């Protein structure tokens, strides 16, 4: 099973993935955690480009869209292999990040057509003001309108794919968010919900 956590910057994905992985392993499941962008050469190039103060500008976003798709393609064999061994894959981001961040235009979907669709997308939905507070030190105005668009794109994606997307309120504290995540995915993994608090 391929489970993905998505959300705007500051939504708390990495904290939640660490706790989720531990819980699943304690429940006797084998888990592989992956992160996009990866640590491939393309991933390193992406991280460098993300540092550019003009990273939210249109042409840099388009360039990032191309690089993210290439970086992701290199991950697909690993995901298939782990799934074949019955491991649960938990990924920090997927091609849905590209659809939300790099503007949901047709060509982004086209260049990601070889990306595997996750079985479950946990969308950590955070208020943009809270996100800005958590990601201090950046160009706040630009960041705010950019992140608002990303948040809206995510919610549109979720509205159009209700079976796959599970919206988690990320404005709550990390413990409550983790409980909500566990309760959401437990039925898909044959884990009893009643013991989760």
- Contact footprint for ligand TYD (CB under 6 A): 9, 13-14, 36-37, 50, 64, 68, 92-93, 97-98, 101-102
Q: What are phi and psi of 94, to 5 degrees?
A: -160, -165
Longest CA pairwise span in the chain (Å): 49
Cα 114 → chain centroid = 18
- Of all residues in the shown chain, the one whose CB is closest to ligand TYD is 101
Cβ count near 102 (within 10 Å)? 23
Tell me whether residue 14 or residue 22 sits nearer to ligand TYD (CB atom).
14
DSSP 3-state percent helix, strand, coil across the chain (nearest 5): 55, 15, 30
Tell me whether residue 142 or residue 191 sits nearer to ligand TYD (CB atom).
142
CB of 194 to ligand TYD, least distance (A): 33
State both tokens at 194.
């009643």
Tell me whether residue 97 or residue 178 sits nearer to ligand TYD (CB atom).
97
CB of 182 to ligand TYD, least distance (A): 21
**In the beta sheet, which residues pair with residue 165?**
121
Tell me whether residue 124 or residue 185 sits nearer to ligand TYD (CB atom).
124
CB of 97 to ligand TYD, least distance (A): 3
CB of 84 to ligand TYD, least distance (A): 24
d(CA 150, CA 10): 13
């Amino acid at each position: 099973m391929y489970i993905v956590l998505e959300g705007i910057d500051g939504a708390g994905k990495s904290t939640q993935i660490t706790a989720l992985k531990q819980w699943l392993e304690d429940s006797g499941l084998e888990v592989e955690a992956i992160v996009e962008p990866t640590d491939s050469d393309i991933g390193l190039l992406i991280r460098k480009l993300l540092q550019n103060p003009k990273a939210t500008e249109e042409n840099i976003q388009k360039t990032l869209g191309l690089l993210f798709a290439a970086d992701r393609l290199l991950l697909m064999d690993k995901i298939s292999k782990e799934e074949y061994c019955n491991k649960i894959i938990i990924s920090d981001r997927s091609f849905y990040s590209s659809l939300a961040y790099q503007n949901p235009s047709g060509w982004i979907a086209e260049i990601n057509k070889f990306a595997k669709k996750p079985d479950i997308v946990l969308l950590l939905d955070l208020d943009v003001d809270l996100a800005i507070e958590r990601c201090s030190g950046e160009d706040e105005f630009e960041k705010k309108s950019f992140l608002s668009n990303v948040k809206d794109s995510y919610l549109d994606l979720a509205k159009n794919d209700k079976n796959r997307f599970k919206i988690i309120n990320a404005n709550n504290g990390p413990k409550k968010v983790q409980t909500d995540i566990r309760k959401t995915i437990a039925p898909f993994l044959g884990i009893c919900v009643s013991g989760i608090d």
